[in-house]
Chain A
Amino acid sequence: MRRLIIRRLLQTIPMIFFVSLVCFALVKAAPGDPVKTFLPPNIHQADIERIRHNLGLDQPAYVQYAKWLKESLSGNLGYSLVNHMPVTKQILDRLPATAGLMGAAIALAVLLAIPLGLAAGSNRNKWVDKLVNLFAYIGISVPLFWLAILFVYFFSIKMHWLPSLGMHTIGKKGAIDVIKHGILPCSVLAISFLSSYVRYIRSGTISQLKEDYVQIQYAFGSGKRTILFRHVMKHVLLPIITLLGMSMGELVTGAIVTETVFSWPGIGSLGMTAVRGLDYPVILGITLFSSLLLIIGNLLADILYGFADPRIKTTR
């Protein structure tokens, strides 16, 4: 086990290095001169050169990269071109809103997907299965932003049940208000995650039910429910761990799209504002940050998988 963890950790370091290299290359590829966008147009050429020198922009790219990497590793992702705030602080300020929303959506999705997937897989081609399958198909095919718009229309504009914008009502405080604002974005995300989880759990259940140990349990007289929840579920949950690790990329897309539609003040809407304002340091800070999360997510998924299924240790 320890060897697996050490090996995966060692593989992660060059990954982070290359990802940071790609991120840096993306900044360098940005059109426009980063110095000139800061300055008034009638400034002297000599002054431009001086500022360029002070910022280290006259040095070769690899020196700039080394400096940037050193700063990034110590937690300084630079400063916003628009409001000059440190990027790291902006990301960390927005993190709770996004983490809360995503955490709630994933938890909801997993909690619903397990019983639905098990029910569908163990009642193959019966009405439960068909219903769950139909729902999952709709869930993976519906554009997230359209679902969000429809929810806003129905639940906020038509029925006035729930607020559709932001995280707080002005002048109100407290957890209940935040939860009320979170219900719609959270449900939209949960539906989209849920659908892919359900499909995995369902097909996992189907293949597990064909295994010998299930037949033996039947022969010993265990009920269907016992077999499903005590034995099949364990095996079916394994792929979900990897799926969670892998779905970090979808989380990012989900965060950007839902937070934009619902004006949720998280990292996704920060990213969209930065993209609209061509605020490269912020965009790259977020890209680097989310790539790191993705790599760590995959790493954790692999390690957890190793704990849950000891066979992995030897084969990987």
Chain B
Amino acid sequence: MNRSKWRNVGAELMANKAGIVAILVLVVFALAAAFAFLSSKDPNEMNVMEKLRHPGAAHWFGTDDYGRDYFARALYGGRVSLTVGFLAMILSTGIGVTIGVISGYFGGLIDSLLMRFVEIIMSIPSFLILLLLSIYLKPSIGNLIVIISLLMWMNISRIVRAETMSLKEREYVLYAKASGQSSFGIIGRHILPNLVSVIIVSATNNVASAIMMESSLSFLGFGVQAPNATWGSMLNGAQGLMFSSPYLAIFPGLLIFLTVLSFNVLGDILRVGFEPKLGKR
């Protein structure tokens, strides 16, 4: 990973208004989730007198059918969604890169076995496994992160494997091999540093898909358990109240949408920045 590549990415980001907006959105959401406790309202405090208030000065996003402040719930819900998205990205990237590098570098039997394994996992619809596992295990945030990661590392491992296979034929790698460096030394010194850009791009997209998975699961009622809010479970509750209180369905969905959109936009900008030969989009 050389410095000019990073400069390229920086330039690409700065030149792109959408990129700046995406970063701003994510920073604001992350700060809001991190400092959610500064809000004076308790996200799980019920108040029957205040139920289904429309958005206004007292309740920015209104209140839900239990009279809970919807803005506070959105703040804490964002905390869950962003944590799950971010940690699942780290874990799945870790697994994917490890398997991809081993498979691509050593090749042969290990490679065929690992890649067959990837194919098998990929041929069972991941959302069904996600649903199944979330019934078996109690869906705490930690479990959710592990399950989602275990269903998301395959793509990254395939990309990393292909890239490693081409890297290991480069002259400097062959030279390092000939000069007697150990395999893991070569992987650490010559292969991994050259994978950084590929990994960052896939990791960015993985955050988006992890957030999408978590919210779909919570929307169907299988994510983090009540009364704790996530954006997906808030939508689940809102569905039946659309007639009187459509705003309950608008806000959480909009937040998921903006988060996922920002990560997708960033992922694309990073890819163009890292691989200028693909051309500006």
Q: Can you name 11 A-B residue pairings with CB atoms under 8 Å?
A: A15-B120, A22-B124, A138-B261, A143-B253, A143-B256, A146-B249, A275-B135, A287-B124, A287-B132, A291-B123, A295-B123
Which of A76-84, A86-94, A221-229, A252-260 forms part of the interface with chain B?
A252-260
Q: Is B228 in the interface zone, CB < 8 Å from A?
A: no
CB-nearest residue of chain A to B208? A141
CB distance from A228 to the nearest CB of B (A): 19
* Chain B contacts for A30, CB-based, 8 A: 136
The segment from A147-155, A178-186, A308-316 found at the interface with B is A147-155
Enumerate chain B interface residues (CB-CB to A < 8 A).
Answer: 116, 119-120, 122-129, 131-132, 135-136, 208, 212, 215-216, 219-222, 232, 235, 238-239, 242-243, 246, 249-250, 252-253, 256-257, 260-261, 264-265, 279, 281
- Determine whether A98 belongs to the interface, using a CB cutoff of 8 Å to chain B: no
Looking at chain A's contact residues, is the secondary structure mostly helix, strand, loop, or mixed?
helix
* CB nearest to A257 among chain B residues: B216
Identify which of B124, B260, B261 contacts A23 (C-beta below 8 A): B124
Q: What residues of chain A lie closer than 8 Å to B242, measured between beta carbons?
A: 149, 152-153, 157
Are B253 and A146 touching (Cβ within 8 A)? yes
Contact yes or no, A146 B257, CB < 8 A: yes
Decide: B123 and A286 in contact? CB cutoff 8 A: no
Task: Give the docked Cα–Cα distance between A145 and B232 (Å).
Answer: 9
CB distance from A179 to the nearest CB of B (A): 24
Of A140, A142, A253, which contacts B125 at CB under 8 A? A253
B264: chain A residues at CB < 8 Å are 137, 140-141
Q: Which residue of A lies closest to B236 (CB)?
A: A145
Given A249-B125, A287-B125, A290-B125, are A31 and B136 neighbors across the interface (CB < 8 Å)? yes
Residues of chain B lying within 8 A (CB to CB) of residue A142: 257, 260-261
Establish whether residues B125 and A137, one from each chain, have CB atoms under 8 Å apart when the complex forms.
no
Q: Shortest CB–CB separation between residue B58 and chain A, in angstroms? A: 25
- CB of A261 closer than 8 Å to a CB of B: yes
Q: How far is the CB of B55 from chain A (nearest CB, A)?
A: 16
What is the bound-complex CA distance between A157 and B256, given in angstroms? 23
In the complex, which residues of chain A have a beta carbon less than 8 angstroms from the beta carbon of B126?
249, 253
Chain B contacts for A14, CB-based, 8 A: 116
Q: Is A248 an interface residue (CB 8 A)?
A: yes
Determine the distance from Cα of A253 to Cα of B216 in the docked complex, in whole angstroms: 9
